[in-house]
Amino acid sequence: MTALFSSTLQIDNLLAALQADEACWINKIEHFDEINSTNTYLMQHESPLHGRVCVADHQTQGRGRQGKQWLSKTGNSLMFSLGYTPKNRLGAQLSLVVGLAIADVLRDLGVAELGLKWPNDVLVNHKKVAGILIESRYVGKQAECVIGVGLNIDFTPAQLAEISRPCISLAQLDIKQISKQSLLIQIIRSICKRLAQFQKKGFASIRLDWLAYHVYINRQVHYEQDGETRLGRIVDLGKKGELMLEHDGKIHQVTSGEINTIRGVS
Ligand code: BTN
């Protein structure tokens, strides 16, 4: 069954639908047919950012983590950024919470073989379906975060081949039919809900749910940080969302960087 992801967004209805849910703290949505980057737009926007959403059909300078580009063509992705003011210091936790919120929605759509790769890739059958870019700035002592989400909706084989790592899009999967509008509503609601849970009960209340999706527990991985690559084995996710990585006979707590699997090693 092919999902109806190609339908256009109706922004007025979108805000009303989000605000009808009292757990959802969104107060403004802006939509652009084309923009440089929804993250850049919000990062340059005046305060307060909390509750503002920027959605675009196309980004000319979409950005991924670690200075990478985020490629999209009009209509093939769901791309938005959301302003969020955290109550305390977060480290990798915010990425983990947002990744889990997206995975929750995809699971409800019937997506099988779902996985989360620390800190923030959403995978289907080990191929990336969504990425998250979190940026922050300070207003006085208060951090303001921009949570950017890019979800692959309907990529052609040629578009998937342009991307340097294995990716997949939702239209390739046999899942429940849903409009782009409903998908966006469900994802934003899910992010609001998981962030509220996180603020109220802490990361400990999220950790086991996240671990249920964790794809590389007990696997050997390459861990990259500050230009250095190390070989290690992921042994756990710590109480604060840090990756527990064993290498050189010791357990290290990793709070930033990137992990990659090693072909042929399980
Ligand atoms: C990654 O996996 O590297 C993160 C990708 C994040 C892409 C989204 S698309 C919406 C928002 N605007 C951007 O420029 N980037 C994020």
Given this model, what pLDDT does residue 265 score? 40
Q: Give the side-chain half-sphere CA count within 13 A for 157.
A: 0
Whole-model pTM?
Answer: 0.93
Atom of ligand 1 nearest to the CA of 61: 14
42 Cα–ligand 1 center, Å? 13
Radius of gyration of the chain, Cα coordinates, nearest whole angstrom: 18
pLDDT class of 266 with cuts at 50, 70, 90? very low
Given this model, what pLDDT does residue 69 score? 92
Given this model, what pLDDT does residue 176 score? 86
pLDDT tens figures, 217-236: 888 999 888 888 889 999 99
Does ligand 1 come within 6 angstroms of the Cβ of 70? yes
Q: Rounded mean pLDDT of 93-112?
A: 96
Atom of ligand 1 nearest to the CA of 128: 2
